[in-house]
Amino acid sequence: MTNEEILAKLQEAFPDVALRVQTEETKDFTLIVPAERLVDVATHLRDHLGFDYLSNVTSVDYPDRFEVVYHLFSMKRGGGVLTLKVHLPDKEHPVVDSVTPIWPGANYQEREVYDLMGISFRNHPDLRRIMLWDGFPGHPLRKDFENRTYTYKELEPTRPKPPNW
């Protein structure tokens, strides 16, 4: 199935969704999906177009928006990567629907994005920080995060109380 066929089938299934193909910056086939229809498009891609494997979830911090990027593959059909991107213009509290109910492998990667970029995932089954501890000040991969060194004493009040053994 070529990229043009995938795009045509998607547009046939979702005539009301404005799918954009990103061509200038990348050679990969990239679809920009509106955030509110991400779950519908992703479910259709899995159930009807054979994209049964979510390889990667990551995020980018641009000056005017956050972007969540999904890399999809089809294990049964083979072929190349399909990139989905979601633009989130809210720079303070970006929220997007979780795709963990569709591809369970997204669980930890969405937690990583939540931890380091501060993007919340609606309907995620277990949205906790995965690398840093709860209470750590800020999200380190955001561009406005001031990357400096901390002393032990400075971070001590943010830590959870250790178990008493």
Q: What separation in angstroms does the CA of 124 have from each of 15, 60, 99, 108, 118?
A: 28, 20, 8, 10, 14
CB 70 within 8 A of CB 76: no
**Is there binding between residue 130 and another protein (CB under 8 A)?**
no
Rounded CA-CA distance 73/56 in Å is 10
User: Closest approach of Cβ 129 to another protein, in Å?
Assistant: 11
**Is there binding between residue 143 and another protein (CB under 8 A)?**
no
**For another protein, which residue of 15, 152, 157, 164 counts as binding (CB under 8 A)?**
152
**Is there binding between residue 128 and another protein (CB under 8 A)?**
no
**Is there binding between residue 133 and another protein (CB under 8 A)?**
yes
**Is there binding between residue 140 and another protein (CB under 8 A)?**
yes
Q: Beta strands 20-22 and 30-33: pairing type?
A: antiparallel
Neighbours of 143 (CB within 10 A): 9
In the complex with another protein, which residue's Cβ is closer, 79 or 138? 138
Rounded CA-CA distance 121/105 in Å is 14
**For another protein, which residue of 63, 75, 162, 164 counts as binding (CB under 8 A)?**
162
Task: Please tell me the count of residues contacting another protein according to CB under 8 A.
Answer: 15
User: Closest approach of Cβ 152 to another protein, in Å?
Assistant: 5
CB 84 within 8 A of CB 33: yes
Residue numbers at the binding site for another protein (CB under 8 A):
131-133, 140, 145, 147-153, 155, 159, 162
